[in-house]
Amino acid sequence: MAADSPEKPPATLRAKLNPLYARLFPDLFDRPEVVETRATCDNCAMCDQGQVAPVQMDFFQPDAKCCTYHPGLANYLVGAILADDGPDLEEGRRRLRARIAARIGVTPQYIQAPRKYNLVYSAGRGAGFFGRAKNMMCPYFDAENNGRCTVWQYREGVCSTYFCKYTGGKPGWEFWDTLKGYLGHVERNLANFAAKSIDPAVTEPKIERFQLTAEDVQDLPPKDSDYAQYWGKWVGREEEFYIACYNHVKAMQPGEFALNVDDSPDGRGLLGKLAAKYEAIPSATIPTTLIRAKNLKKRVNDESIVVTSYNPYDAFAVEKELFEVLGKLKAEQTVEENLARLDKEEDVQLAPELLHYLFVHGLLVAPEVPKEVKPPAEAAPAAAPEPPKPHPLLAPKTTRAQRRTGKKNA
């Protein structure tokens, strides 16, 4: 009888990111990956699949999805795609070469969105174009092949960390948002390091953010003289430069990476924060005091209220009566004190599982701590208050608890 095959070790954070970073990232990335089962990219959860919703939903377009965004590819990522002769990247290489030939957004450190695109994107935030506007599509999105990303293996940090829905709720979103910040830090530092290592004479355009040149307005490349100013001797040899940047990063040793990226004040801070956010996903310990979050977006139907908290693409429905009860939680009382008061005054019992769910998804939050008022100069400074200590919920009465746990994703 054949022996049972050994179980495969769980995939790690390192294995799920750009392969260029496999040797370089610190031990934190050897932890098991965070799996987002609710973000079904191949069968987009934000598109109309005939799902039942308590209110009218604003669905994404199936041939746009979350790719109404123009990523910025750092020089070494561009070089990695151009140097990789695999068939999966053939279309990506073709598109990048077309971008280089057009010269728009092409600099020694990046191939990025035209400045006009960024201006429109910023001005249109909140207008509801994301997931719908075809004129804002990613240039590497292959609509003819089921929306395939043509540069997927070497995609940048934003595309590596974006999900429309998070299995871990708000703590999950905070982890991915922090990882996005770290990857952005990595990309900026490595792009500058690689460019200056290959040729210290190359420069980046000195144009303020959201400022446009006459060429930008007309969707034209920069003037030849301006383009030559930051590319120098590499004009016409941009592809060669990008591949040299890739080879330089590829040859880096972990110690050199740490010196240039992780050992900076920003790098240490981001790694520490990232570790804390990772550890918070499975625990999501409820704080001592909870109140209903302010500034929630609400849509009302006959029986429930659909609320959106931290994530505009992950609304969920709660009963109207429950929503009103949550509004009676007081910031000056602990969770136990609030539960005892609601039981006595309202004959309402809230199950611990429900409170945990609502906290994880951002409907319940810890109250804001008032800003400390500085004492007069001649007075002794006041002692800093102790931070609130996480406290496990004491199990309240479960009468009517099952009805209170009714919840469904919108």
Q: What CA–CA distance (Å, rounded) separates 199 from 329?
A: 61
Report the pLDDT value the prediction gives residue 375, as an integer from 0 to 100.
Answer: 54
Q: What CA–CA distance (Å, rounded) separates 243 from 194?
A: 10
pLDDT in tens, 359-409: 999 999 999 876 665 555 554 444 444 443 333 332 333 334 333 444 444
Q: In this structure, are residues 362 and 318 in contact, taking their beta carbons and an 8 Å threshold?
A: no
**Among 183, 187, 230, CA closest to 77:** 187
Q: What CA–CA distance (Å, rounded) separates 104 from 118?
A: 13
Q: In this structure, what is the dihedral angle of CA atoms 172, 174, 178, 183, given to the nearest 10 degrees?
A: 50
Report the pLDDT value the prediction gives residue 125, as an integer from 0 to 100.
Answer: 85
What are the strands, taking DSSP E only, across 28-164?
A: 73-74, 110-111, 141-142, 148-149
Q: In this structure, are residues 138 and 68 in contact, taking their beta carbons and an 8 Å threshold?
A: yes
Give the Å distances, CA to CA, from 333 to 287, 292, 350: 12, 13, 16
Q: What CA–CA distance (Å, rounded) separates 410 from 408?
A: 6
Counting Cβ atoms within 10 Å, is residue 161 exposed (0-12), middle (13-18) or buried (19+)?
Answer: buried
Report the pLDDT value the prediction gives residue 146, as an integer from 0 to 100.
Answer: 81
- DSSP class of residue 12? B
pLDDT in tens, 194-221: 999 999 999 999 998 889 999 999 999 9
> In the chain, helix, strand, coil percent, each to 5?
45, 10, 50
- Per the DSSP assignment, residues forming a β-bridge with 317 are 306, 408
Enter the tokens of residue 227: 């383009």
Report the pLDDT value the prediction gives residue 68, as an integer from 0 to 100.
Answer: 94
- pLDDT, mean of each 10-residue run, the chain (410 residues): 56 93 95 91 82 73 91 98 96 98 98 96 90 93 90 96 92 96 97 97 93 96 97 98 98 94 93 95 86 90 86 88 94 94 92 91 87 54 42 34 43
Q: Write out the H or E segment, with its range, that includes residue 408.
A: strand 408-409
Domain definitions of the chain by residue range:
14-283, 291-368+390-409
Q: What CA–CA distance (Å, rounded) separates 143 from 62?
A: 10
Report the pLDDT value the prediction gives residue 67, as an integer from 0 to 100.
Answer: 93
Report the pLDDT value the prediction gives residue 192, as an integer from 0 to 100.
Answer: 97
- Amino acid in position 296: L
Q: What CA–CA distance (Å, rounded) separates 177 from 166?
A: 11
